[in-house]
Structure 1
Amino acid sequence: MKTSKISILAILVTLIVMAAPASAYITSQNIETKADRMVDIADQALNTIMDLVETVESDPDTMQAIEDAVLEEEFYGNVSLCVEAGTIVGTTEFTESGEGWTYLAVATQSLADKEYEDAIDNARDALTIFRDVLRSINDILVDSGVETDQILDTEVIQESIDRSIERIAELEALLADQELLDKLTDATDELTEAQDLLDAGENEDATEKLRDANALISEVCQELKEIAQELNPSRTECYLNNAFQYRERFRERFGQAWDEEIDVDELLQAFGYDNEEDFMTKFQEMIENAQGAEDVKDAVKSLKDIGQMIHKMDSALKQEFTQQRGNQGQDMPGNGKGYGNMGGGNSP
């Protein structure tokens, strides 16, 4: 394959900002603007995928390499997640609408109906699927022996962006200080710019923006340590009350999960818990450990552990709801509401 063609592939195969809660991307905007932006990002992501598919399909050498590696079925399986029923790609006609396409369609309709929370949730679910599709297509190209120049560099930058987004979500779960939250918002804006640059193939500029974001995150971490030195019982009690609220919210979410035939115990076992009751007991113990900590560092560590656990468990629950609703049909995607951010003014 010619280098020029590979360069086009390398630019297109980018792993888009899709996985974190919507608030981790555009927290400074109102709900209507957030919804509009999230749906727009999801739509751009879908266009990126279909551009990539068209580029691959139009290059005989690339398609032959995929066929020789016996990965053609996997390739079109990924495409199927992103198209409407009746779409024809190459010689393949898809008879059902894909899950990613359906989420985006629901998000678009929700936006038109001014149901902004639903629009954000469904756009985020669509983005998650589109990111997985892009990762899979990238793997298929690599496994097929297609030389992809800067793809590996792109992956490294993308992973760094994703980790920074997750770090922001964890910090937001610990903070109530508006000045620090504003700084995280600035870091989020830098990451959004980094993602846009990465999507355009501007890796060097994306890396610079990523560094700027990480510098802001580091500043927040340092200031958080300084705040810890002044941690007083009333602030700690406020944080712990918020943790208690999340504990009860998880109990409600688990009940909803059981109602939708999701095996909550099996889900929790993947995180090292025996069952739902074991999780609730250990959550209670984490809160009590933070409450009873005599050393400031121990208290901060306990609060941080609680924030991280909430973020991880909320993400896992959201994924289970998405998968279960997808298995039962595509008429109700993404209606569940997550609890991945302990912010809202009452959190640490």
Structure 2
Amino acid sequence: MNKKIRTTTIAALMLIVIAVGSLSVVLGQPTTETRATRIVESAQAAEEKVGDLIDLVASNATALLMIETAGLTDAFEANVTLFGEGQENVTNALACLEAEDYEGAIENATDAMTIFREVYRAINEILCDSDVKICPSVDPEELEDAIDRSLAKIEDLKALISEDADIYSNITEAEDLLLEAKNELLPDDIEAAKDNLREANALISDVCQYLKEVAQDLNPARIRDYCEELQYRYRFGERFGQAETEGFDVNGFLQGVGYQNEDDFMTRFQEMIQNAQDTEDIEDAVDDLEEIGRFAREFDGSFNQQMGQFRAQHGQNNSGAGSSQQGSGSGSQTSGGSGQMGSGSGH
């Protein structure tokens, strides 16, 4: 299998897993409490380090004079005020953590981190524009973009690797390094952030190589298996029936998104599945899978949104959605091995 085929094969695998189920169903995620605690601790560390930078400038009469000469005193003071808002977010996050409101803790801590990064960058720009020579040699914004790209890649890899696989430890270790690197963007720890990013990317590279080796075994027969699993997970007929039982106008919704009725929709969906199942060419299969994945995700999102609005307007609970989700979850468990790479052969 040549390089191009292997590359498109991996793309197909990633697309399938993303299309057929929620990561929260397929993967065991860190507990909300653990995640909240980690983010709040990062926010506290950021608060301390940005505060140290502000104190350093505020205690330096020469720096303050140079800032005033450049006409940037108001800008500096505005950022000090904004920093205070971030401190309030940290205080609120700690209170939420104490009250076991972990979502609230995450939200407040995340808001605080956003403020601290903004203040840190703005103050460094003020210092540079004022010719105060304490500017970092590396652009923190460019480094953060690189970290964010690696974090996004981590999420893709989580969708493909079972937690039972030995290689999964690379993913968790790389994610921890990236989160630490993001925190190190704030103080004069840019070099440490670069080192952590470099180490995390090396771990990610190992995981990608593992996937390339596993993906070489993909063949048209397995693609057909994936399509059958995809068809099972998106049992639109059953979901339409449940929606109609609740009084939702399914045909009206379908007409609003470009279909004549339920039969027209189901026919087109089945045609896409059949086209992908019939192909014997890997690259053609990838194109078909991309179309199915895009179609299913967009339609599913639109349908869920409309059903949510309908239930809210009519005072109904989510029992119907729960039933549908349970059906999908059961499919994930019975054939999850075909969607994720495990600790054995990976397929």
Normalised to the residue count of structure 1, the TM-score between the two structures is 0.54
Q: Cα gap change, 1:291/1:185 in structure 2, threshold over 3 Å: closer, same or farther? A: farther
Q: Cα gap change, 1:80/1:223 in structure 2, threshold over 3 Å: closer, same or farther? A: same
1:221 is the counterpart of 2:221: no
Deviation at 1:149, TM superposition (A): 5.2
> What residue in structure 1 maps to residue 43 of structure 2?
42
> What residue in structure 2 maps to residue 232 of structure 1?
223
Provide the secondary structure at the position in 2 that maps to 1:187: helix
Deviation at 1:36, TM superposition (A): 1.9
Letter in 1 for 2:202: A
List alignment gaps of at least 5 residues for structure 1. 1-22, 84-97, 249-275, 279-284, 311-343
Q: Deviations over 1:94-153 (max 9, x none)?
A: xxxx2x334323211110101122212321222122112211112221222222254436
> What residue in structure 2 maps to residue 169 of structure 1?
155
Deviation at 1:28, TM superposition (A): 7.3
**Contact 2:49–2:187 (CA under 8 A) maintained in structure 1:** no
Q: Quick one: percent identity of the two aligned structures?
A: 35
User: Whole-Å Cα distance in 2 between the matches of residues 235 and 101 of structure 1?
Assistant: 49
User: Whole-Å Cα distance in 2 between the matches of residues 155 and 131 of structure 1?
Assistant: 9
User: Whole-Å Cα distance in 2 between the matches of residues 79 and 58 of structure 1?
Assistant: 14
Deviation at 1:50, TM superposition (A): 1.6
Aligned ranges for residues 262-273 of structure 1 at < 5 Å?
none
Provide the secondary structure at the position in 1 that maps to 2:209: helix
1:72 is the counterpart of 2:73: yes
User: Whole-Å Cα distance in 1 between the matches of residues 273 and 290 of structure 2?
Assistant: 5
With a CA cutoff of 8 Å and minimum separation of 6, indicate the structure with the bigger relative contact order. 2
Provide the secondary structure at the position in 2 that maps to 1:81: helix
Q: Cα gap change, 1:302/1:132 in structure 2, threshold over 3 Å: closer, same or farther? A: farther
List alignment gaps of at least 5 residues for structure 2. 1-23, 240-255, 259-267, 299-331, 341-347
**Contact 1:164–1:214 (CA under 8 A) maintained in structure 2:** yes
> What residue in structure 2 maps to residue 54 of structure 1?
55
Q: Which sits farther off after the overlay, 196-205 or 102-111?
A: 196-205
**Contact 1:237–1:291 (CA under 8 A) maintained in structure 2:** no
**Contact 1:107–1:119 (CA under 8 A) maintained in structure 2:** yes
Counterpart selection for 1:186 from 162, 169, 173: 173
Aligned ranges for residues 134-213 of structure 1 at < 5 Å?
134-148=120-134, 150-152=136-138, 157-172=143-158, 174-175=159-160, 177-178=162-163, 179=165, 181-195=168-182, 201-213=188-200
Deviation at 1:300, TM superposition (A): 10
Aligned ranges for residues 277-288 of structure 1 at < 5 Å?
none
**Contact 2:143–2:194 (CA under 8 A) maintained in structure 1:** yes
User: Whole-Å Cα distance in 1 between the matches of residues 132 and 83 of structure 2?
Assistant: 23
User: Whole-Å Cα distance in 1 between the matches of residues 172 and 49 of structure 2?
Assistant: 26
> What residue in structure 1 maps to residue 115 of structure 2?
129
User: Whole-Å Cα distance in 2 between the matches of residues 220 and 300 of structure 1?
Assistant: 26
Q: Deviations over 1:211-266 (max 9, x none)?
A: 22101112223333444442634446667888999xx9xxxxxxxxxxxxxxxxxx
> What residue in structure 1 maps to residue 99 of structure 2?
113
Deviation at 1:200, TM superposition (A): 6.3
Normalised to the residue count of structure 2, the TM-score between the two structures is 0.54
User: Whole-Å Cα distance in 2 between the matches of residues 214 and 300 of structure 1?
Assistant: 31
> What residue in structure 2 maps to residue 89 of structure 1?
none
**Contact 1:161–1:191 (CA under 8 A) maintained in structure 2:** yes
Task: Compare the two structures and name the one with the higher helix fraction.
Answer: 2
Q: Deviations over 1:167-214 (max 9, x none)?
A: 323444x43533354422121123244456666645555433322210
Q: Cα gap change, 1:196/1:119 in structure 2, threshold over 3 Å: closer, same or farther? A: closer
**Contact 1:75–1:137 (CA under 8 A) maintained in structure 2:** yes
User: Whole-Å Cα distance in 1 between the matches of residues 161 and 202 of structure 2?
Assistant: 20
> What residue in structure 1 maps to residue 245 of structure 2?
none
Provide the secondary structure at the position in 1 that maps to 2:71: coil
Q: How many residues are aligned here?
A: 238
**Contact 1:289–1:302 (CA under 8 A) maintained in structure 2:** no
**Contact 1:197–1:203 (CA under 8 A) maintained in structure 2:** yes
User: Whole-Å Cα distance in 2 between the matches of residues 226 and 192 of structure 1?
Assistant: 28
User: Whole-Å Cα distance in 2 between the matches of residues 144 and 127 of structure 1?
Assistant: 26
**Contact 1:228–1:300 (CA under 8 A) maintained in structure 2:** no
Aligned ranges for residues 88-107 of structure 1 at < 5 Å?
98=85, 100-107=86-93
**Contact 1:35–1:111 (CA under 8 A) maintained in structure 2:** yes
User: Whole-Å Cα distance in 2 between the matches of residues 197 and 102 of structure 1?
Assistant: 21
Provide the secondary structure at the position in 2 that maps to 1:214: helix
- The root-mean-square deviation of aligned C-alpha atoms, in Å, is 4.4
Provide the secondary structure at the position in 1 that maps to 2:55: helix
**Contact 1:154–1:198 (CA under 8 A) maintained in structure 2:** yes
Deviation at 1:61, TM superposition (A): 1.9
**Contact 1:175–1:181 (CA under 8 A) maintained in structure 2:** no
